[in-house]
Structure 1
Amino acid sequence: MNTYPNSKHKPRLRERRKEIQQTRNWLELPQEVTSMILSKLGAIEILESAQKVCSQWRSISKDPLMWRTIDMRNLGDLHDMPYNLEKMCRHAIDRSCGQLVDINVEYFGTDELLEYITNSSSHLRRLRLVCCYYISDEGLIEIVAKLPLLEELDISIHNLSKEPLEVVGRCCPLLKSVKLNNQGYQHPSYEDDGDAFAIAQNMSKLRHLQIFGNKLTNYGLQAILDGCPHLESLDLRQCFNVSLEGDLGKICAEQIKVLRLPDDSTDDYEFHAAMDDMEYGSSNDDFW
């Protein structure tokens, strides 16, 4: 005779106890471990989800050290989002209490937000701007003087001109890494060495340069090699005005440790890298 009429439910009870125990284990983790785990999330995930899990996580999420890095990575579908990313970003910056050193802004950046960032922290070492079409040349020029410690600049899919690059080079003496990325064309309709000359003449300490889809020519490339003698890595993918046959190719091979050629694979490039045979207007047009 079965003296435990509810014994068929025992497996479910054991599973439930296991779930409770696992939840308890999460809460019993040392605070520094929990902080490290939460720091792997983006700012949006922390503010919209993680901090609402429990009081401990909310307390940790208010620690200024959690906001030394602010990653506002998103899919760019701003009209479908139930929240305002710029307002959220400002809130994250406030939580950093002036300790912000690294920020990534995608799709929603403005001149006003840049000013807010630089007024809130004088320790910024990395600035990444992706598809921030509402950030103007003037807006970027206005704030770079407040970034004397900047070491990494990543501006991708943007209609930036050479003037901000010149000012960045002059105002950020510690700059070591620059990413200036756009979409390339198999048959570019014109040549433009403006960016290359701005980099060569103002960023002599540069060690890493990614200049994807740029219109520079061999003259611009030679200027970069001459003006940036410490350059270790150079990404020239989809820079189809450049020809590395002959002496220039040999110089690149000898001087650059990690060299990506114009025709190299774009599989690891995080943006749309499709090449068009015809272009309409500037290479800096909005392709999204």
Structure 2
Amino acid sequence: MKMDTEADWSELTRECLINILSRLSLEDRWRGSMLVCKSWFSTFKEPSLHSVFNLGPQFDSPPESTRWWTPQFEAKIDSMLLSVVEWAQSSLTQIRLRHCSDRSLSLVAQRCPNLELLSIRSCPRVTDYSIFKIALSCPKLTELDISYCYEITHESLVLIGKNCPNLKILKRNLMNWLDPSEHQGIVPNEYLNACPQDGEDEAAAIANSMPGLEWLEIRFSKLSAKGLNSICQGCPNLEFMDLSGCANLTSRDIVNASSSLVHLKNIKKPNFYIPRSVFHTERYGHWSLYDERFQTDIFRI
């Protein structure tokens, strides 16, 4: 039998509901609270609840799925982001997600002038078109992650650098093209084969337009010693660099280039395990020829 004193949750004041919803995880808000009743859904659209849109944990916990790389899944992510942008009413400052497209990012550029963090990894249909708009409309950007977005070129990096003077963190990692087996069966082959080749152009763009960078990730970039040297000269405030998988760099290249970085605290160097049997050492006369280029100090042979 119902008790007369039973609370009617639909009659909570808007202030109480906002307080409750602000304490819930993103998943609980979207899958539970917004579906309770009309008043809860109305409160769910409160701008202050949407200043941060972080789908990162939903992508990080499960193993990567082939479903994520389909147009249908991308459309769902776009729809979520479009809704958040509408509800936030220019208060959106952080976006972390994957598999969106130009469609939703173009609206972000229009409606989110206070955006400070944009992380859009693994977005095959994000291009220079929307990133140009972001660069021109979001000058407060301090962190940008465009890893595995192969339709974004060095031209976007130039524009971001010139129009976002507060940029401190750039993540422009590529997939492991040295051993693509870890991505095969999940990432479409045509996308794997589209890995950017313009490592030197990207290095020049970073060096010439992002002098305030403090954190740089360019895993599996195809830049050379010349490109790395230009980055170290153009970005003197770097404190962290991740060069994992940069196969065109030697240990000596990295030491020489980074010696000018007085603030550098940590650097991740290329780390390759290449069994000795792969090479015909007798052809070259001495195994030490490989010590520098392939980092044999960390081999387990």
SS at match of 1:263: coil
Q: Which residue does 1:195 correspond to in 2?
A: 202
| Change in 2 beyond 3 A, CA 1:69/1:78 | farther
Q: Which residue does 1:121 correspond to in 2?
A: 112
Structure 2, unaligned runs of 5 or more: 1-5, 60-64, 180-194, 279-301
Counterpart AA for 1:98:
S
Between the aligned partners of 1:134 and 1:201, the Cα distance in structure 2 is 27
SS at match of 1:178: strand
- Kept after mapping to 2: 8 A contact 1:253/1:259: no
SS at match of 1:242: coil
| Change in 2 beyond 3 A, CA 1:37/1:249 | same
Deviations 1:190-215 (A, max 9, x none): 78311111101100000110111100
Between the aligned partners of 1:117 and 1:191, the Cα distance in structure 2 is 28
Counterpart AA for 1:154:
D
Between the aligned partners of 1:94 and 1:118, the Cα distance in structure 2 is 12
- Kept after mapping to 2: 8 A contact 1:212/1:239: yes
Deviations 1:224-249 (A, max 9, x none): 11110111111111111111227517
Counterpart AA for 2:224:
T
Most deviating of 230-239 and 255-264: 255-264
- Kept after mapping to 1: 8 A contact 2:74/2:101: no
Most deviating of 115-124 and 179-188: 179-188
- In structure 1, which of residues 58, 81, 84 is the aligned counterpart of residue 76 of structure 2? 84
2:268 matches 1:260: yes
Counterpart AA for 2:156:
P
2:250 matches 1:243: yes
- Kept after mapping to 1: 8 A contact 2:74/2:100: no
1:114-263 residue pairs with structure 2 within 5 A? 114-159=105-150, 160-186=152-178, 192-245=199-252, 247-248=255-256, 251=259, 255-263=263-271
Counterpart AA for 1:148:
P
- Shift in Å, 1:261: 1.1
Between the aligned partners of 1:264 and 1:125, the Cα distance in structure 2 is 35
Deviations 1:145-199 (A, max 9, x none): 10110000000111122111011100111101000011234499x7831111110
- Shift in Å, 1:137: 1.8
Q: Which residue does 2:88 correspond to in 1?
A: 96
Query: Comparing both structures, which one devotes a greater share of its residues to helix?
Result: 2
Higher relative contact order, structure no. (Cα contacts within 8 Å, ≥ 6 residues apart) = 1
Structure 1, unaligned runs of 5 or more: 1-19, 266-276, 278-288
- In structure 2, which of residues 30, 40, 62 is the aligned counterpart of residue 47 of structure 1? 30
- Shift in Å, 1:117: 0.6
Most deviating of 73-82 and 202-211: 73-82
1:22-37 residue pairs with structure 2 within 5 A? 34-37=20-23
Between the aligned partners of 2:139 and 2:74, the Cα distance in structure 1 is 36
- Shift in Å, 1:50: 3.6
SS at match of 1:157: coil
TM-score, length basis structure 1: 0.71
Counterpart AA for 2:153:
S
Between the aligned partners of 1:252 and 1:35, the Cα distance in structure 2 is 49
TM-score, length basis structure 2: 0.68
- Kept after mapping to 2: 8 A contact 1:233/1:256: yes
Percent sequence identity over aligned pairs: 25
| Change in 2 beyond 3 A, CA 1:86/1:191 | closer
- Kept after mapping to 1: 8 A contact 2:232/2:257: no
- Kept after mapping to 2: 8 A contact 1:169/1:203: yes
